[in-house]
Amino acid sequence: MSKFHLQHLTADDIRSILRSLESAMADHESWITQWHRTLICGLPVDDDAYLVRDSHRHCGFGQWYYRQDHSGLLDHPNFITIDKVHERMHDQVRRIARKARTGAPITDGEYLAFMKEEQKLFHEMLVLKESFHEMLGMFDCLTGAFSRQAMFPILFQEHARVDRTGEPCSIAIVDLDHFKRVNDTYGHQVGDHVLRVTAEYFSSNLRPYDWLCRYGGEEFLICLPSTPVETAHAILDRFRIGLSGTPVTWEDRLLIHITASIGLTTMAADLSVKEIVCRADEALYAAKNAGRNRVTIWVDAEKQQLRKQRPTFSRNKTQSPPHKEAEPLP
């Protein structure tokens, strides 16, 4: 994923890339059809289309290719390969077009050389298209966050980075408080809207190298690379307060203010990814049991026995604002 800058792509970016790629592929198909008509039917040879030295830049596909500027596309290996294959195909077309223009016979070898490059080009286009379709499947279709399918590869990648560099990394699971009440009161359409608002809030506040994943239901997983757990606590508590102040409206009416419980842990190199996620989950349950609407850091059970006066797993440093329940529609 990191090779293709998936972290810097959104689901909307990928959909936009796919739409433009499919349009460019259709342009190329039309160009190829016209080229075969020129050869078979003896139509006049278009200089700009077939004979100029940089004809690969003038065809519809070439114009699309050279105006792309998104790093997620420019750095894709198949996109890079397409440049040379497309140019070589036009070189073969130019050789044939010169003969067609003068009426000289075109050899079987010349035509096969052209078809070989054309088939390579079409293959690279298909692989590029399928790659972005696969990337699109890594996003949750409702919220635009990364999907659960993408979550574990992301965590394995970050776990390997922690093991390799020794840099800290923090993992948090976010659960929306009393979400079932939202669905029961307003219906699932509004519940889906609440999830989208939540994902948009986190996405707009996270750093470019952070990860937001839909863990399941009303739960999200946040991965904060290069972030010690104490720093992550401050970041997430700021998010928690900001989220609680984000009004959710539906059809221009204020419905609810969202609050969330957050369980936080550090990514330890000597633990498996599954164990790390379990710790974040345990901290989340502790946050909910302690009253919800708070960030709780995982604490080892043995150490917790020495802190009987404290709530289980709790290290809350800031006072939570009052929880706001759903307000009935007018």
- The catalytic site residues sit at 218
Gap between the Cα atoms of 220 and 326, Å rounded? 21
Contact status, residue 164 vs residue 286, Cβ threshold 8 Å: no
Contact status, residue 170 vs residue 224, Cβ threshold 8 Å: yes
Q: Where are the alpha helices (DSSP H) in the chain?
A: 11-41, 60-66, 71-74, 77-102, 108-136, 148-165, 179-186, 188-205, 229-244, 273-289, 301-304
Burial 194-222 (b: 16+ CB within 10 A, else e): bbbbbbebbeeebeeebbbbbbeebbbbb
Give Cβ neighbours of residue 147 (< 8 Å, ≥ 6 apart). Answer: 137, 138, 139, 140, 213, 214
Gap between the Cα atoms of 21 and 3, Å rounded? 20
Q: How many residues does the chain have?
A: 330
Gap between the Cα atoms of 7 and 189, Å rounded? 28
What is the Cα Rg of the chain in Å? 28
**β-bridge mates for residue 176, sequence order:** 260
